[in-house]
Amino acid sequence: MKLSGKVALITGAGSGMGRAAAILFAREGAKVGVVDVNEASAKETAAEISKSGGAAFAMRADVSNSEDACAMADETARRFGGLDISYNNAGIEGEGGFLAQLSEEGFDRVIAINLRGVWLGMKYALPHLIKRGGGSIINTASVAGIVAIKGAAAYCAAKAGVISLTRVAALEYGRYNIRANCICPGVIDTPMARRVSEEGGVTSQSNNRLSVLGRVGSADEIARTALFLASDDAPFATGAPFIVDGGWVAR
Ligand X SMILES: NC(=O)c1ccc[n+]([C@@H]2O[C@H](COP(=O)([O-])OP(=O)(O)OC[C@H]3O[C@@H](n4cnc5c(N)ncnc54)[C@H](O)[C@@H]3O)[C@@H](O)[C@H]2O)c1
Binding of residue 12 to ligand X (CB under 6 A): yes
Query: Candidates 25-33, 58-66, 167-175, 223-231 — which segment interacts with ligand X by CB under 6 A?
Result: 58-66
Alpha-carbon radius of gyration of the chain: 17
By CB under 6 A, tell whether 237 contacts ligand X.
no
Each residue 166-205 as x (binds ligand X by CB under 6 A) or -, in order, gives -------------------x-xx-xxxx------------
Are 98 and 123 a contacting pair, CB within 8 Å?
no
113 binds ligand X (CB under 6 A): yes
State how far the alpha carbon of 248 is from the alpha carbons of 61, 84, 110, 164, 239, in Å: 33, 32, 23, 20, 21
Burial class (CB in 10 A: 0-12, 13-18, 19+), 206: exposed
14-42 in b/e form (b: 16+ CB < 10 A) is bbbbbbbbbbbbbbbebbbbbbbbeeebb
- Residue 231's identity, in one-letter code, is S
Residue closer to ligand X by CB (options 11, 132) is: 11
Question: Could you confirm whether 155 is annotated as catalytic?
Answer: yes
**Binds ligand X (CB under 6 A): choice among 22, 77, 85, 91:** 91
Catalytic residue among 87, 155, 173, 176: 155
Binding status of residue 163 toward ligand X by CB under 6 A: no
Q: Which of 37, 73, 138, 160 contacts ligand X by CB under 6 A? A: 37
Stretch that binds ligand X, among 21-29, 59-67, 99-107, 124-132 (CB under 6 A): 59-67
Which residues are catalytic, by number? 155
